[in-house]
């Protein structure tokens, strides 16, 4: 699976953004998809996950209620809708995928099989 993230940008606190992760290659619908982020000088951290079936989602406490992950299997695309953005959301955002059926998800980076290049999200105060 090849992944390409897009949709990042520079926004103000309180604004919204939608990130997209386009996938190609092996069966999209067989994989669970994740978003991670990495701020400068910090470790990469889990943000959100959506099960291969699309029927379950999981979020980090820091984004719960503000971010929504979704998928469109017809378009082989996963989305991350980010509302009420805060300066602390500033990071490079990465999409990732795993063929593991484990749920609740393994939120560690080691659990991912595929990674896309990141997209920068900068939130100004």
pLDDT digits (tens, 9 = 90+) for 16-33: 999 999 998 877 888 899
Q: Residue 83 is encoded by which pair of tokens?
A: 């509302």
* Average pLDDT over every residue of 76-89: 97
**Residue 106, CB-side half-sphere exposure with 13 Å CA sphere:** 13
**pLDDT per position as a tens digit, 92-117:** 999 999 988 888 888 988 889 999 99
> Residue 21 belongs to what H/E stretch?
strand 17-24
**pLDDT per position as a tens digit, 38-47:** 999 999 999 9
Q: What share of the chain is helix, strand, coil (3-state, %, to 5)?
A: 5, 50, 45
What distance in Å separates the CA atoms of residue 106 and residue 112, rounded to the nearest whole number?
8
What distance in Å separates the CA atoms of residue 99 and residue 114, rounded to the nearest whole number?
9
């Amino acid at each position: 699976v090849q992944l390409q993230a897009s949709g990042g940008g520079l926004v103000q606190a309180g604004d919204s953004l939608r990130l997209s992760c386009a996938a190609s290659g092996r069966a999209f619908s067989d994989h669970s998809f994740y978003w991670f982020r990495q701020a400068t000088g910090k470790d990469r951290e889990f943000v959100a996950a959506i099960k291969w079936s699309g029927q379950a989602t999981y979020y980090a406490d820091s984004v719960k209620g503000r971010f929504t992950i979704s998928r469109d299997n017809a378009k082989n695309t996963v989305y991350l809708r980010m509302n009420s953005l805060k300066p602390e959301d500033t990071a490079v955002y990465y999409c990732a995928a795993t063929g593991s059926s484990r749920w609740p998800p393994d939120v560690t980076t080691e659990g991912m099989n595929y990674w896309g290049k990141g997209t920068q999200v900068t939130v100004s105060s």
